[in-house]
A and B are shown apart, each in its own frame.
Chain A
Amino acid sequence: GNVAGWPAKAFDAKVLDEAMGDSIGKTDVPVSSKVSLKAPTIAENGGAVPVTIEVDSPMTADDYISTVWLFVDHNPTPLASQFTFTPACGKAYIQERIKMAKTDNVRVVAKTNKGELMASAPREVKVTIGGCGG
């Protein structure tokens, strides 16, 4: 069974808008250069795509990033991860590896302790058959 406190509704949502609505409560979030999302342009292994998230914030008791959500637009369940930070982190920073079945967009939304929302630009990761080379 599910672990207590795990946000099942948002994680079970099958389309991006629904997943965003159930997690963030909004589907349109302005893009901010403060939200950085790094991912390879072409996936080496769609089963393990490294992503690095970093949100620019002082991370002090009265000004910090409280929550970050990571989405893969067309995954069977688009919400991939939810991170709840504290000021003690010093940096809103995460690196992990995720699954992508096909060429798709990865995106991140961050929320400050004051409730302000900001998103990364969507980042396209290409999943290809590959082959050939120079």
Chain B
Amino acid sequence: FFAPGAIQAAWGSDKDPYDIPAYGNVTLLHMTDSHAQLLPVWWREPDTNIGVGPVLNQTPHLCGKWMLDYYGLAHSGRDEYTYSCLDYDTLAKHYGKIGGYAHIATLVKRYREQLGNRALLLDGGDTWQGSATALWTKGEDMVGAQNLLGVDDFVGHWEFTYGQKQVEYLVKNKLKAKFLAQNVFSNTWQEPVFQPYQIHEISGRRIAVIGQAFPFTPIANPGYMIPDWGFGIHTEHMQKMVDECRNDKKADLVVVLSHNGADVDKKMASLVRGIDIILGGHTHDIMGPKPFQVNQTLVINTSTNGKILARFDLDVGKGKLNGWRFHYLPVFSNLIPADAAMSEYIDGVRKPYLEKLQQPLATTGSLLYRRDNFNGTFDQLLCDALRAEMNCEASFSPGFRWGYCKLPGETITMEDVMGQTAITYPQVTVNNYTGEQIKNIMEQVADNIFNPNPYYQQGGDMIRVGNIQYDFNPDEKIYHRISNLRIGGKLASASKKYKVAGWAAMQPVEGKPVWEVFGSWLQSQKHVEVKKVELPVLNADMRSNHGIAFPKTYKL
């Protein structure tokens, strides 16, 4: 399968880590939130992923050593690289990039050969967005990759940002997988828009897969793109679907393919009876190598960017799950040969755009990453760029959780800029906000992340701010989390107006696409270093929060 030397170096033994003995009669393969990364990328786990309320210090709200300790993993080597942000630069050089559809394809093919038609491949969504080619082909390049990979069922979130018509077009005419959503209803007649579930006959058992689209799509992303589609969690309707699958369709196993996010999945598992497994995404969290159990339901979340392929081997009996084995497989692209057919497909997708993708803009002396609750080095650069190019004293940038990393010494290309910005509402705008408006915007976003009731959370991270400083208490209520708000180091005045640059507005606006603004700033800089990431000062109670790997960065 691959070179023993390479395995030896990565695993400390010659045993093939992807060699899994067959067990049971049904296998579920799960991947999610690839964010259209056809090629392997660098992906650093967050150092800050704070859990509040019922999920305080629970997986996946564990960072750095806390995550390793929770699962009893080694503080070194491949486990440290897979499950934590620790020693990232060093480990990245040793273990290489993660993901890549050609490498995932090799694994999937291998397991299909091993298991025959006992295996289902389920894709948790956020597959059509996140890269230049996905944006320029309106998601179609990814549909091609999904078809080649043999995805059986699929759900959505960022997919919807291509608009109602394009989603309908791709789902009806191009996508071979079933697009499932039990929680999307038309806004005129309140009728289901998509097929809610699919029943698969495997090994003489009936496997129900119920789709759950991201419940807050028209709030987290522009609602005007999907005017006739209403979302929501729809817990009661989920119960109805589970009962219908079990009672009317005689399902022996009920699986929810979910884009709720980890905290909402856990709460839903506690409210709905009869779900065996929730395969979750959206939050991009590492939530393994063991599933989390809520009553009788096993809950997982399968990372992002193609980093993990999850494999559930199940012994499904008549009407019940008799046993299971779970494997959380990091896709180390150096160790898995690329699948030829998928490589050829990817080359074909990229070919017309290659020159533009590879256009060099600047070199970086720092590790560039995005994911963290409050700020990342890539976002720091983006906020700096927005302020400089738009001549503003402050800037806002959305707390997206996608966007891969660059290592120190690498060249930032146009493709990398698109990897941070490729959305269908990219316009940069300049707004004159009062200090009070700035605080209100930040407070509202904060409540969407830190509300102790998961059903009021949307996922995502805190809005990134350029030249705005603040103190923050995640445990407070809305409008009380932020204090000591300063702009340019000076206490913000509630009534004074400040010029703030931003992008990704929820309403249609005019403006240059953000990649142009960011790209031209990078070109003018030639070389960038992030000397300091601006972070809020956190409330002292956060000292005991295991979602923070480096408390000192927050003055804790």
Contact = CB atoms under 8 A, between A and B. Distances in A.
Interface of A: 38, 40-45, 48, 50, 95, 126, 128-134
B463 A44 contact: no
Contacts of B158: 133
A8 B85 CA distance: 63
Interface string B4-17: 00000000000000
B402 A129 contact: no
A38 B455 CA distance: 14
A132 B425 CA distance: 12
Nearest to B126: A134
Interface in B158-203: 158, 187, 190
B456 A126 contact: yes
A41 B445 contact: no
Nearest to A38: B236
Interface of B is mostly: loop
Given A42-B456, A44-B218, A95-B190, A132 B232 contact: no
B266 interface: no
Given A132-B220, A132-B400, A132-B458, 11 more contacts: A38-B236, A44-B218, A48-B187, A95-B190, A129-B441, A130-B448, A131-B463, A132-B399, A132-B461, A133-B459, A134-B460
Tell which of B441, B458, B461 has the most Cβ of chain A within 10 Å. Answer: B458
B221 A133 contact: yes
Contacts of B236: 38
Across chains A and B, which 6 residue pairs bring their CB atoms closest together, nearest first?
Answer: A133-B220, A132-B460, A130-B219, A134-B459, A134-B401, A44-B218
Contact of A42 (B126, B216, B283, B461): B216
B447 interface: yes
A15 B456 CA distance: 27
A134 B216 contact: no
B282 interface: yes
B448 A44 contact: no
A134 B282 contact: yes
Interface string B259-290: 00100000000000000000000111000000
A133 B460 CA distance: 4
Given A41-B455, A42-B456, A131 B231 contact: no
Nearest to B282: A134
A42 B219 contact: yes
Contacts of A50: 190, 230
B157 A133 contact: yes
Contacts of A132: 220, 398-400, 445, 448, 458, 460-461, 463
Contacts of B187: 45, 48
The secondary structure that dominates the A interface is loop
A86 B458 CA distance: 41
Most B CB within 10 A of own CB, among A38, A43, A45, A131 = A131
A133 B304 CA distance: 14
Contacts of A41: 232-233, 453, 455-456
28 contacts: A38-B236, A40-B233, A41-B233, A44-B216, A44-B218, A44-B230, A45-B223, A50-B190, A50-B230, A128-B219, A130-B220, A130-B458, A130-B506, A131-B445, A132-B398, A132-B448, A132-B460, A132-B461, A133-B157, A133-B158, A134-B157, A134-B261, A134-B283, A134-B284, A134-B400, A134-B459, A134-B460, A134-B461
Most chain A CB inside 10 Å of its own CB: which residue of B231, B233, B441, B456: B456
Contacts of A44: 216, 218-219, 223, 230-232
Contacts of B453: 41
A125 B554 CA distance: 33
B456 A129 contact: no
A125 B204 CA distance: 45
Interface string B197-217: 000000000000000001010
Contacts of B463: 131-132
Contacts of B401: 133-134
A131 B283 contact: no
A128 B506 CA distance: 11
Contacts of A45: 187, 218, 223
Nearest to A39: B232
Q: Which of A48, A126, A130 has the most CB of B within 10 A?
A: A130
A129 B283 contact: no
B391 interface: no
Contacts of B448: 128, 130, 132
B33 interface: yes
Nearest to B448: A128
Contacts of A133: 157-158, 214, 216, 220-221, 398, 400-401, 458-460
A128 B447 contact: yes
